[in-house]
């Protein structure tokens, strides 16, 4: 029996569920009278996980009273029932006792928060915007959005900044996520997305994963990796750590952090030397090959081996395996993107794929793995400082004119490009930005160099934050607007494959809570731009977004809510309502540049920005753990996830002489913190690793450097110079802030201060063993 037949005989959810709600168990063939849940009148709402860029399909279980109370796997073709622990526990945040249910307000940071009415909070916010803008100009007020918002809301963030606030200063936390990959893809292919769908991984003969801990960051993608292995594909993993996927790879290249482009240039060098390039493809479809080839000649394996700290033979082996495969794919993530040469690192991977002719075929191509649920869609429609809806450039006269026409504003009223998220913080520090609204982000945990971030935010005269829990950043604000979770509104997100999926509303928001859309429209109205923001909800915003994207590379025009509900997702570009979408790019050999060619780019390796010295001889690298999401504002409140990974740790090699659990002080030029040691051979002796989901004094990002990639402006999270020394005792993990009048979720109070280190290299050491 084949896998297909197997699935067919198991009476699971047979297909993507129809719009609205329906009784899952009836659909799954379970007699209603035999299942206690049915006695509660349970319904299941088909939707997707709110967290990472896989966007797993799931059902939210809703009780007779209309409240979300559980989760049930859903046979969506992205995840085929699979879920990771974050997805399974996500529903617990919907009715969590820490939820904010009334606006919080204070006139100065010295005062405690008090609950305020919506009228009062909105009016105060608008009067502060007016005060700051009339004194210091429109650009003195900034807006920072988030890539966990639905695309409708990210569209609205960009429009709200430019039309209602009339400021150039808008950016988003996707700036910390995959903008390097986006920049590289745009330069090479003229389009900013992965080239192939996940399902192509199953067809490949060689899978190269660079800088991605797939098992922990995108667990559900692992099924595609193992599926490829079942069919005999070879696996190459490039990562300083021996992650769960690297452990099983044919070749694990444990290179020194920050040396990726030297490595990939050297691989290309071998490919050229051994005559493994696809010259016919290069001649017909690319520009710049001669220069790239000449540059690769400067990186013989012996040179790269020295830079990267890996054997030269391994580089040769990677080149032969990748170029010798009939169909090869490369997927990469933050490990190579979070660098001061993040864009260039991605370009060297693209050069390798293109030089070997691995583009635009089933099982051959490239992909970027997005961290945030809407990391892909979150920047496509104008939330990024230099982009207008449809991925249009704000610097392009024609693009500006088109958008002004759609928005009904004068072109002279449309501000120019602003600066990036980290740069905005520097501007706050210097007093250039004096007021700020943050929506769905938590820079106090997620930005590098915490001291600078705190100074920047403290210097701001007025700060409002939209969130559904009181994040570390919101706790610093003057006004906090309580907004909906993903389960209380509808909207779309684009996953790592650029597949647009629809999230459905599972319950009404708690009393006092409003949607981000409603709050932005209310503020716009009070700012005198109400006519441009007359949206009743996501559906109306999406209709405008479709029109605003029509005819661009990021064309959403053919995507409708109804089609998404019928199909389970459509990959853009999708120019008309009878267009099937574009899961795989470049099948006709043409890119989105005017000449239809791939523009190969020359890359020279340069060392990381934070230099090593006698005082700071080692590399600190950072990343995620499977139980937590980004700044942890959501997952650090969910009992099961806190229990699974209660605290951060520092991974150190046994040769450094520590024992597991020893307090180890990690010192960088920005400061120092103490973590319990997790001694493991799964990391390079010259490198230590700390996961980044926690606030100070256990914050990896208090230690990381705020150096940026000059093109993508992504911070260099993945490498900085450090030293380690014996600490006195480990720093205690602080609890997430809780609003006045709320009680902290009791379960999460138990283990958070547990000073014990994790017992496994993955740091998932508290599995139930009782």
Partner 1 sequence: MMGRTIFIDPGRCIGCQACVSACRECDSHRGKSMIHLDYPDEGHTVASLPTVCMHCEDPVAPCAEVCPADAILVTADGVVQQADTTRCIGCANCVNACPFGVPKIDLQAKLQMKCNLCYDRTAYGLAPMCATVCPTGALFYGTVEELKAERPGVQVADSFTFGDVVVKTGVAMVVPADKVQWPVPGGLPIVQINGADVT
- Interface residue list for partner 1 (CB under 8 A): 1-3, 5-6, 10-12, 28-31, 34-37, 70-71, 73, 79, 81-85, 87-89, 215-216, 219-223, 226, 230, 242-245, 247-248, 626-627, 640-641, 644, 654, 660, 679-682, 759-762, 764-765, 767-770
Judged by beta carbon distances under 5 to 8 A according to partner kind, the member of ligand SF4, partner 1, none in contact with residue 558 is none
Nearer of residues 219 and 737 to partner 1, judged by Cβ: 219
Q: Nearest distance from residue 660's CB to partner 1, in Å?
A: 7
Q: What is the DSSP string of 408-471?
A: T--GGGS------HHHHHHHHHTTS--EEEEES--HHHHSS-HHHHHHHHHH-SEEEEEESS--
Those residues whose C-beta lies under 8 Å from the C-beta of residue 86, and which sit 6 or more positions away, are 49, 51, 52, 626, 627, 628, 629, 635, 641
Nearer of residues 465 and 634 to ligand SF4, judged by Cβ: 634
Which of 25, 61, 76, 86 forms a contact with ligand SF4 (CB under 6 A)?
Answer: 86
Please tell me whether residue 207 adopts helix, strand or coil conformation. strand
User: Counting Cβ atoms within 10 Å, is residue 702 exposed (0-12), middle (13-18) or buried (19+)?
Assistant: buried
Of the candidates 88, 76, 61, the one whose C-alpha atom is nearest the C-alpha of residue 17 is 76
Which of 83, 439, 453, 545 forms a contact with ligand SF4 (CB under 6 A)?
Answer: 83
Nearer of residues 590 and 764 to ligand SF4, judged by Cβ: 764
Piece in contact with ligand SF4 (CB under 6 A), picked from 215-223, 425-433, 486-494, 596-604: 215-223
Q: Nearest distance from residue 40's CB to partner 1, in Å?
A: 11
Q: Nearest distance from residue 54's CB to ligand SF4, in Å?
A: 4
Q: What's the CA gap between 316 and 98, in Å, rounded?
A: 54
Query: Hey, how many other C-beta atoms are within 10 angstroms of the C-beta on 97?
Result: 11
Is residue 494 within the footprint of ligand SF4 (CB under 6 A)? no
Q: What's the CA gap between 19 and 27, in Å, rounded?
A: 14
Piece in contact with ligand SF4 (CB under 6 A), picked from 216-224, 560-568, 721-729, 739-747: 216-224
Query: Which residue sits closest to ligand SF4, CB atoms considered?
Result: 87
Judged by beta carbon distances under 5 to 8 A according to partner kind, the member of partner 1, ligand SF4, none in contact with residue 12 is partner 1
Is residue 641 within the footprint of ligand SF4 (CB under 6 A)? no
Nearer of residues 630 and 690 to ligand SF4, judged by Cβ: 630
Piece in contact with ligand SF4 (CB under 6 A), picked from 51-59, 397-405, 456-464, 542-550: 51-59
Q: Nearest distance from residue 52's CB to partner 1, in Å?
A: 11
Question: What 8-state DSSP symbol labels residue 273?
Answer: H
Nearer of residues 10 and 135 to partner 1, judged by Cβ: 10
Please tell me whether residue 47 adopts helix, strand or coil conformation. strand
Beta-bridge partner residues of 435? 141, 462
Nearer of residues 261 and 762 to partner 1, judged by Cβ: 762
Rg (CA), the chain: 25
Q: Nearest distance from residue 223's CB to partner 1, in Å?
A: 6
Tokens of 499: 């597949």
Task: Provide the pairing of β-strand 499-503 with 491-494.
Answer: antiparallel
Angle (CA) 242 632 197, round 5°: 60
Is residue 87 within the footprint of ligand SF4 (CB under 6 A)? yes
Residue 55 Cα distances to 77, 119, 374, 497, 716, angstroms: 11, 36, 9, 10, 26
Residue for token pair 């995507």: 559
Nearer of residues 58 and 721 to ligand SF4, judged by Cβ: 58
Is residue 486 within the footprint of ligand SF4 (CB under 6 A)? no
Residue for token pair 């935010």: 457
Residue for token pair 């009992």: 639
Which of 183, 219, 583, 648 forms a contact with ligand SF4 (CB under 6 A)?
Answer: 219
Judged by beta carbon distances under 5 to 8 A according to partner kind, the member of partner 1, ligand SF4, none in contact with residue 525 is none
Of the candidates 629, 631, 605, 623, the one whose C-alpha atom is nearest the C-alpha of residue 240 is 623
């Amino acid at each position: 029996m084949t896998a297909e037949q197997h699935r067919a005989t198991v009476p699971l959810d047979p297909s993507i569920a129809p719009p609205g709600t329906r009784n899952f168990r009836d659909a799954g063939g379970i007699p209603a009278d035999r299942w206690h849940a049915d006695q509660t009148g349970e319904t299941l709402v088909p939707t997707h996980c709110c967290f990472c860029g896989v966007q797993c399909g799931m059902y939210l279980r809703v009780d007779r009273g209309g409240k979300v109370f559980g989760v049930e796997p859903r046979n969506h073709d992205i995840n085929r029932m699979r879920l990771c622990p974050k997805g399974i526990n996500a529903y617990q945040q919907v009715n969590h006792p820490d939820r904010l249910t009334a606006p919080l307000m204070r006139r100065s940071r010295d005062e405690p928060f008090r609950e305020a009415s919506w009228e009062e909070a909105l009016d105060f916010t608008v009067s502060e915007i007016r005060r700051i803008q009339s004194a210091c100009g429109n650009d003195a007020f900034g807006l920072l959005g988030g890539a966990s918002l639905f695309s409708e809301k990210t569209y609205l963030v960009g429009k709200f900044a430019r039309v209602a606030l009339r400021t150039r200063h808008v950016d988003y936390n996707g700036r910390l996520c995959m903008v390097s990959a986006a920049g590289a893809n745009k330069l090479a292919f003229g389009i900013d997305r992965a080239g192939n769908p996940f399902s192509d991984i199953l067809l490949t003969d060689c899978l190269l994963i660079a800088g991605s801990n797939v098992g922990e960051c995108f667990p559900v993608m692992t099924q595609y990796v193992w599926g490829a292995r079942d069919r005999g594909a070879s696996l190459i993993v490039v990562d300083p750590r021996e992650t769960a996927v690297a452990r099983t790879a044919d070749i694990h290249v444990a290179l020194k952090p920050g040396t990726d482009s030297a490595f990939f240039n050297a691989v290309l060098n071998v490919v050229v030397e051994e005559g493994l390039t696809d010259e016919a493809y290069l001649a017909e479809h690319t520009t710049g090959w001669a220069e790239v080839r000449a540059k690769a000649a400067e990186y013989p394996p012996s040179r790269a081996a020295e830079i990267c700290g890996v054997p030269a033979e391994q580089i040769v082996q990677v080149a032969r395996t990748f170029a010798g495969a009939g169909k090869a794919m490369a997927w990469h993530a933050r490990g190579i993107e979070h660098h001061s040469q993040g864009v260039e690192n991605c370009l060297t991977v693209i050069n390798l794929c293109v030089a070997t002719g691995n583009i635009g075929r089933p099982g051959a191509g490239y992909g970027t793995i997005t961290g945030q649920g809407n990391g892909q869609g979150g920047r496509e429609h104008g939330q990024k400082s230099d982009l207008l809806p449809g991925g249009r450039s704000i610097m392009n006269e024609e693009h500006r004119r088109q958008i002004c026409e759609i928005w009904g504003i004068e072109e002279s009223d449309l501000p120019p490009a602003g600066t990036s998220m980290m740069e905005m913080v520097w501007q706050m520090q210097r007093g250039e930005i004096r007021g700020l609204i943050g929506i769905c982000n938590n820079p106090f945990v997620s930005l590098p160099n915490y001291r600078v971030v705190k100074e920047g935010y403290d210097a701001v005269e007025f700060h409002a934050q939209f969130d559904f829990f009181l994040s570390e950043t919101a706790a610093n604000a003057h006004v906090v607007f309580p907004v909906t979770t993903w389960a209380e509104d509808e909207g779309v997100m684009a996953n790592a494959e650029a597949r647009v999926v629809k999230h459905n509303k599972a319950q009404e928001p708690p009393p006092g809570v409003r949607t981000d859309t409603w709050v932005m429209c209310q503020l716009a109205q009070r700012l005198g731009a109400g006519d441009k923001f007359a949206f009743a909800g996501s559906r109306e915003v999406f209709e405008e977004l479709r029109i605003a994207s029509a005819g661009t590379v990021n064309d959403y025009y053919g995507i409708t809510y109804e089609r998404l509900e019928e199909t389970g997702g459509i990959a853009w570009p999708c120019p008309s309502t009878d267009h099937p979408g574009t899961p795989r790019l470049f099948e006709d050999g043409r890119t989105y540049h005017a000449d239809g060619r791939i523009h190969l780019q020359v890359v020279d390796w340069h060392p990381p920005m934070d230099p090593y010295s006698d005082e700071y001889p080692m590399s600190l690298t950072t990343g995620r753990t499977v139980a937590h999401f980004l700044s942890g504002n959501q997952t650090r409140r969910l009992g099961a996830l806190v229990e699974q990974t209660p605290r951060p740790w520092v991974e150190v090699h046994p040769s450094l002489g520590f024992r597991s659990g020893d307090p180890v002080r990690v010192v960088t030029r920005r400061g120092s913190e103490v973590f319990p040691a997790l001694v493991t051979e799964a990391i390079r002796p010259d490198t230590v690793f700390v996961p980044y989901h926690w606030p100070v004094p256990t914050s990896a990002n208090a230690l990381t450097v705020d150096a940026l990639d000059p093109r993508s402006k992504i911070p260099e999270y993945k490498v900085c110079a450090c030293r380690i020394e014996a600490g006195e005792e480990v720093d205690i993990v602080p609890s997430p802030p809780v609003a006045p009048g709320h009680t902290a979720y009791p379960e999460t109070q138990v283990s958070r201060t547990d000073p014990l280190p994790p017992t496994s290299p993955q740091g998932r050491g508290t599995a139930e063993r009782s």
